[in-house]
Amino acid sequence: MPETAPLTRSDIEAKIVALAWQDDEFRRKFVADPKGQFEERLGTKLPDSLKMTAHEENENSLHFVIPMKPQANLDELSDEELEKVAGGTDLYIGYTIVTVVSVGVSSIIAASGGW
């Protein structure tokens, strides 16, 4: 069986948003307990130290996430990494607090056949 590439944060978010738009009950549960929904859908326990928060936007609210500063020295990024940042493409999931854990989540998703 071919090995699938890790999902990016954007891939995971797109899947969650699509499901939330299709299924009001999932949206309600995910907003109330995003970590629980990940665990339920993946059939895997996530680390107890992991904190996940979901915010639901409406016509009177807009939410922004400022990712954790990468631990790598930004002066030493490769040309490919710089192109991803400059081009607005997602960096792989190890660059934010949620994303650090999402690397494991991505692996679990890939190993289990998807979200």
pTM equals 0.57
Per-domain residue ranges of the chain: 9-112
For residue 80, what are the CA distances in angstroms to 22, 52, 85, 86, 97? 36, 30, 9, 10, 22
Per DSSP, the three-state class of 77 is coil
25-74: per-residue pLDDT in tens? 999 999 999 999 989 988 889 899 999 999 999 999 998 888 888 776 65
d(CA 78, CA 96) in angstroms, rounded, equals: 19
Look at residue 95 in the predicted model and tell me its pLDDT.
37
Quote the distance between the C-alpha of residue 56 and its chain's center: 16
Structure tokens at 31: 């907003």
